[in-house]
Each structure stands twice: as C-alpha cells, then as structure tokens.
Amino acid sequence: MREESALVQQFFLVIEYLAVISGGLYGILLAKRHGMDFVGLFAMAFILAFGGGTLRDLFLDRHPLFWIRHQEYALILFGMAFGASFFRSLSDAIEKWLHLPDAFGLGLFSILGTSFALEADVPWFIASLLGVVTGSFGGVMGQVICNEMPNLFTSSPLYATCSFVGSWTFLLLSLILSVEYATLCGIAVVVVFRLAAVRFDLRLPNRSESSSS
Amino acid sequence: MREESALVQQFFLVIEYLAVISGGLYGILLAKRHGMDFVGLFAMAFILAFGGGTLRDLFLDRHPLFWIRHQEYALILFGMAFGASFFRSLSDAIEKWLHLPDAFGLGLFSILGTSFALEADVPWFIASLLGVVTGSFGGVMGQVICNEMPNLFTSSPLYATCSFVGSWTFLLLSLILSVEYATLCGIAVVVVFRLAAVRFDLRLPNRSESSSS
Amino acid sequence: MREESALVQQFFLVIEYLAVISGGLYGILLAKRHGMDFVGLFAMAFILAFGGGTLRDLFLDRHPLFWIRHQEYALILFGMAFGASFFRSLSDAIEKWLHLPDAFGLGLFSILGTSFALEADVPWFIASLLGVVTGSFGGVMGQVICNEMPNLFTSSPLYATCSFVGSWTFLLLSLILSVEYATLCGIAVVVVFRLAAVRFDLRLPNRSESSSS
C-alpha cells in the first residue's frame, strides 16, 4: 500500500484478473450442475464474469465495453472452459474455496462500478446501485438462464448488501481520502463483510410467505 | 387541461410518479409471492418500474437513462421495499386496487415511449412497438426472472394490445392536434381500454395448443 | 458470384430477409408450443429474429439498431404472426424444413456480426464471439423467456460451434481475399457445417453430470 500509483494500478489489475477468473469458475460450476457441454461452459463463464460489468457499461454509455477492450479476459475464460470440459464434475473442495476469490471479485467489481458511475456524474444513490449491479448481476443472469430463482433475492447469506455497504463506504471516504485509498477501503469492507456473512451465516430477515415451492 | 404548458408538465410529472410507484408495487407483490427478502423486493420493484424504460433508452441511445437522471425514483422504490419488508404479505385488496395506477402507468409509459421514438425520427410502426416495450416489458422481465411464463404473451386480459392501440391513437392525432393533446388522448385510450379489458375480461382469441403444463 | 458489388449486395439483402423470416418462424413455433396468443407470437418472433443483432448493435454502440432502420422487417414479422394466429399449430413438416433457412440465417447473422465487429476495430477473438452472439442469442433469449434450458448450451447438434468456425474462416480469409468473397466463404462454411451437424447428428462430447432432470 505504498503511495506509488503504479503499484496500486498493478494491485487492481491482479484483482481484476482474479475477479474475472472467479466469475468464470462460478459460471463453469453452474453449467456443470446443469449438464452443459463446452459451449455452455464457456457461455456461462462469459455471462457470470462479464454480465454485471456489461450492464454497467451500457447503462453509463461507456464504450468500448471492458471485455471488448481486454481480449485476454475472454481468452482466459475460453481456456478455463476448455480445460473444465474434460472433467466430469468439479470437486466440492473447489466450490468451498471459491468464496475467497468471489468475495474479492464482488468487492472489486462493486467499487469499480460505483467509481465509474461517480466519474460519469451520476447521483450517489444511483452510483451505489450501479456498484451492486456490477458486482452481482452476472450471477443473477446466469441463474435466470438456468431457470433457477436467483439466490441473491432470497434469504441467502448477505451478498448484494455487502456490495451496497462497501459502495457507500467508498463514496463517503472519497470525500476525505484520495480515490485510491477510498477504493481499497471500500473493497476491504465488501470482502470482509462477505466472508463474515458466509462464515456466520448472516442473512436479512425475511417475512415474505413464499407461495412457490 | 388548460393550455398552459407548465400545468400539462406538472400533470405529466404526477402521472410519471404514479407510474413508477405502481410499477414498484407490482414488483413488490411479485417478489412477496416468491418469498424474497428486502434485496429481492427492491430489485423486483426496480426491474418492474424501470425495465421497459431502460430498454427504450438503450434502443434509442438516450443517455443518461431516465432513472439515472431522476435519483428520487429509485429512492422512492427503496423506501417502498423497505416498508414492505415488515409485512408478511400484501392484502388482496391492494392487488385489486392496483389495476388503476397500473393502467395509468401503462398509458403514460407507452405514450412517452412512442413520443420519444418519434422525436428520434423512428418510423411509426417501430415507434408504436417501442411504446409497447416501454409500457409492458418491465413486467415481462420480472416474470422471466421469477421463472413464470409472462402472462403478457398468453391469453390474459388485453395489455400490450391496449398499449399498441393507444400508441397509434397518439401517432394519428399528432398529425392534427398539438403534441400535448395527442399525448393526453393517447394515454386516455390506453387507460380506458385497459380498465375495460380487466372489467369485461377481454382477451385475444387463442388457437394455440399449449403442450406445456 | 460476379464481381459486381451491387449483385453481391442484393444477394445479401435476400439472405437477410430469409434470416429474419426464419428467425421469426422459429419464434412463432416456440410461441405456439407454449400456447401463446397473437401478442406472444409476435413478441417471440421479434425476439428470435432481432435478439442477437440487437445485442451486437448495443455492444458495439451502433445506432440506430438494425430493426429500427429497417421498419419492413418488423412489419413482415407482424404479418407472419397475424397469419399464424389463425392456425392451431404448425405442421411438423414446416419444422423440419426450417433447418435450411435457419442455417442460412445463422450463417449470415454470424458473419455480419463478425464483420461489423471488425469494422469497429474489435480484436479478432472478440469479433468471432460477437459473430456467435449475433447468430445464436435470439434463440437463447427466446428459450429463457419460455423457461426452457437453452439447447445451445446442452449437447444438441452443433450450432454455436458452426458459427464460431465460420467466423474464423471469414477472419482468416479476409487477410487474403476481398471482404465480399471472405464473407461468402464464411457463410458457406457455417451453412454446410450446420446442415451436416443436423444430418449426421454431430455433437460436442459432454462429460458434465447433469444434476437437473
């Protein structure tokens, strides 16, 4: 955490790669659960890793889209899906271990989304929502395609909430700190909050009576 | 209905608020039916209220999107979802009463969509379709996410049809009347037609043999 | 296949009409299978015929969208859906015969998507993916709306793969041939490959264990 901006940039780049890879891994796991072939594995990896950021870029009219600018992200996902197509299933161990990169991915994509929105002079509340969309809508799209109810919307351990709280941490700290530090703090809040939610099974209270199964 | 444009503008603003609120209420009802928590309530309210208009803005390349420009709309939905999360379910009374603001919402969003398309020099037939998309695709998206077959597409009481007829009323009247009057007439046609469809159970004939359920 | 560019343009136009029509027919068949009324028939025809190209245009920031520029495409679909609403179901004969125009549609939309991406200076790998999206995502959207698992992602006869191989054929040949010839060859590869996949039931190997039905 030196003040040298170049170091911070490299740190961000590493995290962004991790975020794309973890999004891709989740996509592949989801595709495997539904018995998809290589095309399905790649498509789901693509949708989980790029879905939220694509919505953000379209909503904010940012072009070219981030995965069009960074061809290497799609190539990595292609390689991952290709490799995964040789395995019958991925071990449960991997699925458990995934919470870590996923939390980093949620953190980075959320704060990136919020800060891009801020750059575009979007009001704060909307900026925080765009952070949540960026961080979590890839998963929503993936589950909708697989005809699963998005577990973001039901009482799973906190996910969108971590992203929302981290986005506001970033927004408030950006008033008193440099953007780099505010970004790092925002990401840290999302990551720690999300890992705590998984570890201690934190959920929102839910009084809705489900009439579906 | 004085000719003063300011009064007309205020009238439109009131209706737009009503439209966002009724879209949000439908979203919350849908989320409640599927047992969602606060995040789900807010997300569904957001999608139902903003989904159609977002597609319109993206298709016509209008930026910033209307809900990015009007932060207060999202804040209202946030408050509504927060309030609703304390109730186990919403009474059937509300659901019945909802047809009224929903019909106004359908009318306003449809005619707004058509008139924005017209401003962008879109051919008439496409403009009327964009009116229908603006008025009714929030509901389609919401149902797709909840894995329900969109009842817009099956033989429910006329919905998209009302929007289509009202859009053409607006287009044709805009040739001989001022835009304000044509808009008001278009909205009125949608509202009256929709309320009549609900009241008298008007449906399109349907000869399709469903092989599902 | 004279070198006159005007003739080639006309050839493309004919194929584009065929592509829109075959996309629309598939949409209508899908809608009929799910018991939809006229609104549903038209909406599904619209989504199947325009879905992939709309994503391409939005991702590449091309405006106006192709179906906004060509009002006649939507009018054709409207007429087709109207006609189809008088029939109880479409005969299986039509469904079988559809593979031909659909293969042409897949070919043309894929290569068009890739070449538009190339024009926009998109890297090659991304360009080939945009070709696949343009050619095949209308069908994915349609099936998601109908709560079917997209058969693009499971082990159906090769579809996205044909589009991918054809897109690369186009990209590589565009280095040594004129764009017109490269386009024709790319389309031909997709069409022949797709028809062969249907005829000989070519599928990707699939080692995923489906845990869903």
Measured between alpha carbons, how far is B189 from B124 in angstroms, rounded to an integer?
A: 18
Contacts of B85 in chain A (CB under 8 A): 204-208
Which whole number is the average pLDDT over A34-42?
Answer: 89
Report the number of distinct structural domains present in chain C: 1
Measured between alpha carbons, how far is A186 from A179 in angstroms, rounded to an integer?
A: 10
Question: What percentage of chain B reaches a pLDDT higher than 70?
Answer: 89
Number of C-alpha atoms within 13 angstroms, CB side, residue B55? 25
Question: What percentage of chain A reaches a pLDDT higher than 90?
Answer: 43
Structural domain contains residue A212: no
Instruction: Using CB atoms, list chains with 3+ pairs below 8 Å to chain A.
Output: B, C
Q: Is B212's pLDDT higher than 50?
A: no
Q: What are the b/e assignments for C139-156, b being 16+ CB within 10 Å?
A: bbbbbbbbbebbebbbbb
The Cα of B66 is separated from the nearest Cα of chain A by a number of Å equal to: 10
Measured between alpha carbons, how far is B45 from B50 in angstroms, rounded to an integer?
A: 8
Best C110, C153, C171 member to test A by mutation, with max A CBs in 10 Å, is: C153
pLDDT, one tens digit per residue, over B65-111 is 999 988 999 999 999 999 988 887 666 666 677 778 788 889 989 99
Residuewise pLDDT in 10s, chain C (213 residues): 445 567 767 777 777 788 888 889 888 888 888 888 899 999 999 999 999 999 999 999 999 999 998 899 999 999 999 998 888 766 666 666 777 878 888 998 999 899 889 989 999 999 999 999 999 898 889 888 888 888 788 768 888 999 999 999 999 999 998 888 898 899 999 999 999 998 888 888 876 655 543
Q: Report the pLDDT value the prediction gives residue C2, as an integer from 0 to 100.
A: 44
Q: Report the pLDDT value the prediction gives residue C73, as an integer from 0 to 100.
A: 95
Q: Report the pLDDT value the prediction gives residue B91, as an integer from 0 to 100.
A: 63
The Cα of C38 is separated from the nearest Cα of chain B by a number of Å equal to: 7
Number of C-alpha atoms within 13 angstroms, CB side, residue B73? 25
Select from C58, C126, C155 the Cβ nearest to the Cβ of A74. C126
A69 CB neighbour count, 10 Å cutoff: 14
Structural domain contains residue B46: yes
Q: Domain of residue A59: give its range.
A: 2-203
pLDDT, one tens digit per residue, over B20-56 is 888 898 888 888 888 888 999 999 999 999 999 999 9
Q: Is A43's pLDDT higher than 90?
A: yes
Test B153 with C32 for CB contact under 8 angstroms: no
Structural domain contains residue B29: yes
Structural domain contains residue A78: yes
All residues at 6 or more sequence positions from B28 whose CB lies less than 8 Å from its CB, including other chains: B41, B44, B45, B80, B81, B84, B90
Contacts of C211 in chain A (CB under 8 A): 33-35
Q: Report the pLDDT value the prediction gives residue B2, as an integer from 0 to 100.
A: 44
Measured between alpha carbons, how far is B29 from B200 in angstroms, rounded to an integer?
A: 24
Size of interface A-B (CB pairs under 8 A): 95
The Cα of B67 is separated from the nearest Cα of chain A by a number of Å equal to: 8
- Chain C within 8 Å of A87 (Cβ-Cβ)? yes
Measured between alpha carbons, how far is C77 from C127 in angstroms, rounded to an integer?
A: 28
Angle at A54 between CA C62 and CA A58, to 5 degrees: 45
Query: Which region among A10-24, A90-104, C43-57 has the lowest average model confidence (pLDDT)?
Result: A90-104
Test C35 with B210 for CB contact under 8 angstroms: yes
Structural domain contains residue B212: no
Chain B residue with the nearest C-alpha to that of A211: B33
- Chain A within 8 Å of B91 (Cβ-Cβ)? no
- Chain B within 8 Å of A13 (Cβ-Cβ)? no
Structural domain contains residue B151: yes
Dihedral angle sign, alpha carbons of residues C72, C78, C82, C83:
positive
What is the pTM (predicted TM-score) of this model? Answer: 0.90
Chain C residue with the nearest C-alpha to that of A146: C149
Structural domain contains residue C212: no
Chain centre to alpha carbon of residue B47: 11
User: Of B151, B149, B144, nearest to B203 (Cα)?
Assistant: B151
Look up the ipTM and state it: 0.88
All residues at 6 or more sequence positions from C93 whose CB lies less than 8 Å from its CB, including other chains: none
Structural domain contains residue C209: no
